[in-house]
A and B are shown apart, each in its own frame.
Chain A
């Protein structure tokens, strides 16, 4: 644990010194939030759209943007840079736990995601969004986004460890786009066409998005929040196990 914390501190220092890498993770999701609300906001007026629970469409779109913000996988990009530049081998040649090498990056990723999510929510408040479930819901929203960021960074770290190539790892990040669009991102699942509804129901991101929406819009469907945490816990455990397996077999 001590080594994990030491290496996580180093990863956070690295993030502080590369603000140009952090900026897109904030600006691009905000761009999508503004554009999506601009395009569909008038189709779904807050006052007459039941699934918005009296809020504006921005509240419905915020979870999609938060998920996008958590899907840049910067941890994996820094990891593959360590591999390419030899620092990864320096760590492997020292008595450093292999688990600490991968866990530290995920831990740092969760801290970055907490900060970024808080900033994004603060900005969305200026756009008229209200977190209907209050401070508790806000904290759960932070946790859920940070947990998703860890899951996705874990997935990208698998690509980094397997391919040892920054180009391949960056391409891996694009997987998120089909994952994000095969969800009820513009309207609830019940309003989708049948094939799209089936596809969205098979996509774990759908359940995280729906849990987040419950936290933002209210509506009392707490089982959706529980399901969202269940999905990130299960996928997180899977990613962690695969990361540990791969880093231990790294040759």
Chain B
């Protein structure tokens, strides 16, 4: 996956607002790539452009070797997407949702039934599979969301803040899932606000701030670099605060009003 000069602007009341200002990224096949940044930094906007959900104002992006702007449908066949809001139809059962998703990707009715069963087993939701999703807990919904993103065995999986709002136990379950998925060879592009999550899961990461990439590298290299400059035993939190110019008491950013 590669992005060059990726930019997104929205019309605002006082002129255009730049949500993403020329992002360059290169994600290697088979790695877990973390995309970190404070609120409003441009993480979700970047993910939405890479997953064909938002048009790209300028710049180029390829995912699984396919141009996102020119071949969006081909890209959609290669990617799995689990966004911040679990995209579930809560009036369906887990099994119905998975079956429908598999059928929308072209599986026959019999194949889709098998895939749904397999996915339910993978995320340990077989017992709840025939219940409507509305009654699921937050962790169950997140696991089902992940399973739905995987029905077509995508080459690249996008996870936008997959553990936000989950309790610690559910968070650990999702981490295990991500490791298992990546272990099968799937490239994972993960945004998160939890630096411990990035430290635990990511082979490499990039930090975005104000719509621009401000730092990129492996978690250990980034920590080693800061240790060399500042001394001590820095954590990824320290790396993040150093890269974004924030302190532990100043975390609020400016908010610009935009129109969709």
Contact = CB atoms under 8 A, between A and B. Distances in A.
B97 to A, nearest CB: 9
Interface centre among B73, B83, B91, B260 (most CB of A within 10 A): B91
Contact of B83 (A6, A17, A86, A164): A86
A6 B103 contact: yes
Interface string B78-100: 01010111111111100010001
B85 A10 contact: no
Interface residues of B, number: 29
Given A6-B100, A93-B52, A14 B77 contact: no
Given A13-B91, A17-B91, A95-B76, 4 more contacts: A85-B87, A86-B85, A93-B83, A94-B101
Interface in A36-54: none
Across the A-B interface, give the 5 residue pairs with the lowest CB-CB distance, nearest first.
A90-B87, A86-B87, A86-B85, A93-B81, A95-B76
A197 interface: no
B51 to A, nearest CB: 5
A139 to B, nearest CB: 31
B256 interface: no
A80 to B, nearest CB: 13
Given A10-B92, A17-B91, A96-B104, A86 B260 contact: no
Contact of B79 (A3, A10, A82, A93): A93
A92 B83 contact: no
Nearest to A14: B91
B60 to A, nearest CB: 18
Interface residues of A, number: 23
Contacts of B86: 86
B260 A89 contact: no
A88 B83 CA distance: 12
Contacts of B81: 89-90, 93
Interface in A1-42: 3, 6-7, 10, 13-14, 17-18
Contact of A94 (B54, B88, B104): B104
B55 interface: yes
A94 B152 CA distance: 10
A87 interface: yes
Contact of A85 (B79, B90, B96): B90
B53 interface: yes
B132 interface: yes
Nearest to B72: A95
Contact of B132 (A17, A85, A96): A17
A133 B53 CA distance: 51
A89 B87 contact: yes
A89 B83 CA distance: 9
B194 interface: no
Interface in B190-242: none
A93 B88 contact: no
Given A18-B91, A93-B81, A164-B260, A3 B104 contact: yes
Contacts of B52: 92-93
B85 A13 contact: no
Contacts of B148: 90
Contacts of B73: 95
Contacts of A3: 104
B55 A85 contact: no
A100 to B, nearest CB: 9
Contacts of A92: 52-53
A87 B87 contact: yes
B101 A82 contact: no
A82 B86 CA distance: 11
Contacts of B76: 93-95
Interface string B105-139: 10000000000000000000000000010000000
Contacts of A96: 104
Interface in A55-109: 82, 85-96
Contacts of A82: 89
A231 B190 CA distance: 51
A116 B79 CA distance: 41
A10 B101 CA distance: 11
Contacts of A90: 81, 83, 87-88, 101, 148
A251 B104 contact: no
Nearest to A3: B104
B132 A251 contact: no
A89 B53 contact: yes
Contacts of B90: 85
Contacts of B101: 90, 94
A17 B101 CA distance: 20
Given A17-B132, A90-B81, A94-B104, A251 B88 contact: no
